[in-house]
Amino acid sequence: MSRNSQTEILETRRDQQRETHMTVWEATYNLLRNLGLTTVFGNPGSTEQPFLKNFPKDFQYVLGLQEASVVAMADGYSQATKKPVHVNLHSCAGPGNAMCSIMTAYQNKTPLIITAGQQTREMVLCEPLLTNPDVTTLPRPWVKWVYQPARAQDVPGAIMRAYAMALQPPAGPVFVSIPLDDWDQPALGEAVVRSVSSRYSPDPERVALFAERIQKSKNPVLIYGPEIERAGGWDAGIKFAERLKAPVYIAPLTDRASFPQTHLQFHGMAPIAIGPLSKQLRGHDLIVVIGAPVFRYYPYVAGDYLPEGAELLQVTSDPYDAGAAIVGDSLLSDAKLALEAFIGAIPEVKSRPAPTRLHIERNLPTTPNNPLMALEAFDALSELRPEDDIVVNETASNFADFLQCWPIRKPDSYYTFASGALGWGSPAAVGLALAEKKLGTHRPVVAVIGDGSFQYSVQSLYTAAQQKLKVIFVVPCNGEYAILKEFAVLQKTPNVPALDLPGLDVVSAAKAFGAPGVLAKTKLEIKQAFAAALKADGPTVIAIPIAHQERLLVPPVAD
């Protein structure tokens, strides 16, 4: 572009500015509207008020009482609506509180556009109260991009760029810091609106190579990860597994289900430790991991990464995960597009029968225990399971028992965190329920949250109550950090303090935030409370006292 035409454009923009008197505030709200970012999750402070002033009627501000809850609510909302979401936080204090949930959103690969106020440009040099002196450091390393515009007129452009950065694979949170005196400054006119890709297809040559290796395998096994479900590849995943007649595991500690747990070929979750995982997969000559890291382990249990004689293929849309894989060969691709490419390239296998269903006995006593065991409580609850529910899981030690009674059957109905950072489940459930309400689908959200986990973001109940959201918080109360006790046994670290939680009153805590709380001690009480909660026009917290159980963190794999 010639210097003259550049000057002309700038002059035209300045003329527009003079004519329209458009401010940065107006240009930004118009941009947010154009991008569909009309729901703002936030917790306000003085540095955000110039942005929030005269809040437009077509926007909704969803108030969270603590920033870790705000970000996790937005994460749930974004995952349910499958769209980027705007979060507005307070200067450096807000992101400081929110950091744990920003880290989780990064690992969940949720596109969040986080904006935060900054002190007045005029004063930043003297670092008055609330200044963020180092905006580009605070949210790192858990954002894909962080920026403070060099001048007020760049605010809309920076938000557009943040949107583009957040959405492209791997999606994730981004952060824009905005000085509070920018909003009334004259804008350069309407912001440029752009669109970008949210997925990419695989390299055809590499697909052919992978397809050949899969076809040659005598006994492949599939390990499905969260990228399949996020990419809308649920049906393609079933078709591919049936075509291949291979057993399907979900990836260790996966944050989405990605495969129906009622399917004949479903073999459960792959073990969460090195040795047990390779032991479990013995006999397979090819391990095909689609849409997951290789692997998300938890405790260290020594062993080989792969069983003897096995090779591994990984498909992921995240170059970082491809680089980090500890073994195997990777293909970069959107999970659904890769599955479709494999389906097109690999004929149906006729030479072997489909694997048979794994049967897990549900061992229930004839006379109920007092207090109930977790399995008994979940069994009672599952009798009233609605047809179309959404589950949020943050019940560390009881999770396997829950899924035994409540197998995930459909896409977009199971959520947990990819990070292991407690305090995500309750607010994420609130965000999911808000999305259900707005989308008009009204599926009830059942959030199963441990009594320890419940305490980290309990104030999210306030948002659920104020917004009248159908979230049923089921809290198995064992009065302890049970999973840490299991970890202590595995790691041989006796006498760790602070693993018991006496004196917690979950029901009163719920009531304090405006959510009805019920104590349900028996199977009958559980069913009554759950039936009433399903009919309620708002959240309910059901606290279920359960027995202490000694379980093994990593169950042994049979020889």
Ligand X SMILES: Cc1ncc(C[n+]2csc(CCOP(=O)(O)OP(=O)(O)O)c2C)c(N)n1
| Positions that interact with ligand X (CB under 6 A) | 100, 395-398, 420-423, 450-453, 456, 478, 480-484
Q: How many CB atoms lie within 10 A of CB 351?
A: 6
Which listed option, Mg ion, ligand X, none, makes contact with residue 484 (CB within 5 to 8 Å by class)? ligand X
CB nearer Mg ion, residue 238 or residue 483: 483
Do the Cβ atoms of 252 and 270 come closer than 8 Å?
A: yes
Rounded to 5°, the CA angle 313-239-344 comes to 70
Cβ proximity to ligand X: between 266 and 481 the closer is: 481
Token code pair at residue 88: 């507005």
Question: Residue 450 Cβ, how far from Mg ion at the closest point, in Å?
Answer: 4
Please give the angle made by the CA atoms of 230, 266 and 302, to the nearest 5 degrees: 90
Cα separation, 511 vs 389, in Å, equals 24
The span from the CA of 440 to the CA of 427, in Å, is 20
User: Residue 384 in contact with residue 530, Cβ under 8 Å?
Assistant: yes
Q: How far is the CB of 451 from Mg ion (least distance, A)?
A: 4
Least distance in angstroms from the C-beta of 496 to Mg ion: 15
Q: Which residue's CB is nearer to ligand X, number 50 or number 450?
A: 450
Least distance in angstroms from the C-beta of 414 to ligand X:
18
* H-type alpha helices, 353-505: 374-382, 399-405, 425-439, 460-466, 482-491
Beta carbon of residue 400, minimum distance to ligand X (angstroms, whole number): 11
User: Whose Cβ is closer to Mg ion: residue 427's or residue 452's?
Assistant: 452
Measured from each CB, the residue nearest to ligand X is 450
Distance CA 417, CA 439 (A): 23
Nearer to Mg ion among residue 254 and residue 478 (C-beta): 478
Assign 3-class secondary structure to 480-511: ECHHHHHHHHHHCCCCCCCCECCCCCHHHHHH
- How many Cβ atoms are within 10 Å of 58's Cβ, its own excluded? 8
Residue 104 or 148 having the CB closest to ligand X = 104
Rounded to whole angstroms, the Cα distance separating 151 from 360 reads: 62
Task: Return d(Cα 417, Cα 73) in angstroms, integer.
Answer: 12
- Partner touching 100 among ligand X, Mg ion, none, CB below 5 to 8 Å by kind: ligand X
Residue 303 or residue 479: which is nearer to Mg ion going by CB? 479
C-alpha span between 343 and 407 (Å, rounded)? 26
Nearest approach, Cβ of residue 426 and Mg ion (Å):
14
Check: CB of residue 345 under 8 Å from CB of residue 211. yes
CB nearer to ligand X: pick between 285 and 480: 480
Pick one of ligand X, Mg ion, none as the site partner of residue 446 (Cβ within 5 to 8 A by kind).
none
Comparing CA positions, the residue from 31, 287, 319 lying closest to residue 176 is: 31
Considering the complex, what minimum distance in angstroms separates the CB of residue 418 from ligand X? 12
In the complex with Mg ion, which residue's Cβ is closer, 153 or 478? 478
Q: How far is the CB of 395 from ligand X (least distance, A)?
A: 6
Backbone angles phi, psi at 348, to 5 degrees: -65, 135
421 interface partner picked from Mg ion, ligand X, none, CB below 5 to 8 A per type: ligand X
Report how far residue 325's alpha carbon sits from residue 302's, in angstroms, rounded to the nearest whole number.
17
Nearest approach, Cβ of residue 427 and ligand X (Å): 13
> If contact means CB under 5 to 8 A according to the sort of partner, which of ligand X, Mg ion, none does residue 453 touch?
ligand X
Tokens of 171: 């999606």
The partner in contact with residue 517, picked from Mg ion, ligand X, none with C-beta cut-offs of 5 to 8 angstroms by kind, is none
445-474 per-residue burial string, b: 16 or more CB within 10 A, e: under 16? bbbbbbbbbbbbbbbbbbbbbbbebbbbbb
**DSSP label at residue 455:** G
Residue 258 interacts, among ligand X, Mg ion, none and using kind-specific CB cut-offs from 5 to 8 Å, with none
Pairwise CA distance, residues 529 & 469, whole Å: 17
Q: Which residues pair with 39 in a beta bridge?
A: 60
Q: What angle do CA 291, 411, 384 make, to 5 degrees?
A: 140
In the complex, the smallest distance separating the C-beta of residue 416 from ligand X, rounded to whole angstroms, is 12
Q: Which does 294 bind (CB under 5 to 8 A by kind): Mg ion, ligand X, none?
A: none
Task: Specify the residue, 28 or 398, whose C-beta has the smaller distance to ligand X.
Answer: 398
User: In the chain, what is the straight-line distance between the N-terminal and C-terminal CA atoms, in Å?
Assistant: 71
List the single partner that 398 binds among ligand X, Mg ion, none, CB under 5 to 8 Å by kind.
Answer: ligand X
State the amino acid at position 108 in one-letter form.
N
CB closer to ligand X, 154 vs 486? 486
Q: Judge whether 329 and 286 are in contact, CB under 8 Å.
A: no
Nearer to Mg ion, 229 or 486 (CB): 486
Strands (E), 295-444: 311-316, 329-332, 390-394, 414-415
Q: How far is the CB of 335 from Mg ion (least distance, A)?
A: 34
Which one of ligand X, Mg ion, none is in contact with 396 (Cβ closer than 5 to 8 A by kind)?
ligand X
Rounded to a whole number of angstroms, the minimum distance from the CB of residue 261 to Mg ion is: 24
Binding site for Mg ion (CB under 5 A): 450-452, 478
